[in-house]
Amino acid sequence: MEDAVLMSPPAEAAIRCEGLTRYFGEVKAVEELELSVPRGSIFGFLGRNGAGKTTTIRMLAGLAHPTRGKAWICGIETTNADSSARRTFGYLPQSPAFYSWMTPLEYLTYCGRLFGLSASELRQSISQTLELVGLETASRRRIGGFSGGMIQRMGIAQALLHNPPVLLLDEPTSSLDPAGRYEVLELISRLRGRVTVFLSSHILADIERVCDHVAIIRAGRLVLVSERDDLLSRYAVSAVEIEVEPENHPLPERFLAALRSQPWVAEVSQDQLVLRVAVSDQEAARRQLLPLALEFGLIIRRYEWVRPTLEEIFLKVSA
């Protein structure tokens, strides 16, 4: 891996890939993917559109055969068409499709029979799953009338019905409005500790919000794997944000000139009412920055030492 941050593999990985590769003619969709996903994690698989995320998930689910390499879910190989592997995971494609005339109760009954669940197992699983995804009150409504967020939650319900230890989610929020995204992300958060979630997305805020581990794929190659907080700490910069009241806008040029002349200031940027100051000496900045702002009469609404966002890190490593 190029410029990769390696994470020590867990003793028992929920998902493991060795040399996983898929070519489409001369196009290298995924190349030599080496990955180990810790059990119980919410693992974010992040990349630009076309980076190889969907191809990877389809290989993990046994829906696409690798050109070479192998993958295992809970110790069972999924890249050799082993039918027993179906029990180890649930899968939600990017654009799930349902029989619109069915109700959730009817559709989940249909899915459960395909998995061979007994009548008693099916009744219990449907009840628990619909409650978990928040669709119990809509269980007898036709799926054709559902909102986008309800459709995605319905997709997660069918993926969880047979109680798998791993859940594969391909871009589950990409087509949703803010309300639908909130519903689905809240549901994914509630799954923490119940199943291992492998979540692909190009929406950085979603990954940062719910995932505890992050991998970044670029043009089919894995470039970074890390725990989220370790990643944010690794790329941390010493910077402070000061938000002032509207009456201080625009900021006095004399103040900005005085600030830039300080030996501990590395860079100053401004976005409307928010001033961001990168510093080379954090101790000096903590002693002198606020007194300097007050000396020029600034009325401060917010003063905060900040860490980089996942977006800033992503743009740096995926360029």
* Mean local confidence (pLDDT), 124-139: 94
pLDDT greater than 60 at residue 10: no
| pLDDT single digits (tens) 84-94 | 788 899 999 98
Q: What percent of the chain has pLDDT over 70?
A: 95
User: pLDDT-derived band of residue 197, with 50, 70 and 90 as boundaries?
Assistant: very high
Q: What is the pLDDT of residues 48-89, one digit of tens each?
A: 889 999 999 999 999 999 999 999 999 999 998 677 788 899
Please give the structure tokens belonging to residue 13.
């990985």
**CA-atom Rg of the chain in angstroms:** 24
Going from the N-terminus, what domains does the chain have, and what CATH number goes with each? 13-234 (3.40.50.300), 239-317 (3.30.70)
CA distance 215 to 4: 10
Q: What integer is the mean pLDDT of 98-102?
A: 94
Detail the DSSP E strand segments found in the chain. 13-24, 27-38, 42-46, 68-73, 76-77, 89-92, 166-170, 196-201, 213-218, 221-227, 239-244, 265-271, 274-279, 300-306
Tell me the pTM: 0.79
Nearest to 116 by CA among 152, 86, 78: 86
Q: What is the pLDDT of residue 239?
A: 87
- Are the C-beta atoms of residues 65 and 79 closer than 8 Å to each other? yes
Percent of the chain's residues with pLDDT above 90: 68
The encoded tokens of residue 35 equal 């990955």
For the cut 80, the answer to whether the pLDDT of residue 226 exceeds it is yes
Mean pLDDT of 260-281: 91
For the record, the structure tokens of 249 come out as: 């806008």
Dist CA 129 CA 258 (whole Å): 60
- Given a cut of 90, whether residue 30 has pLDDT beyond it is yes
Mean of the pLDDT values across residues 286-313? Answer: 88
Average pLDDT, the chain: 89
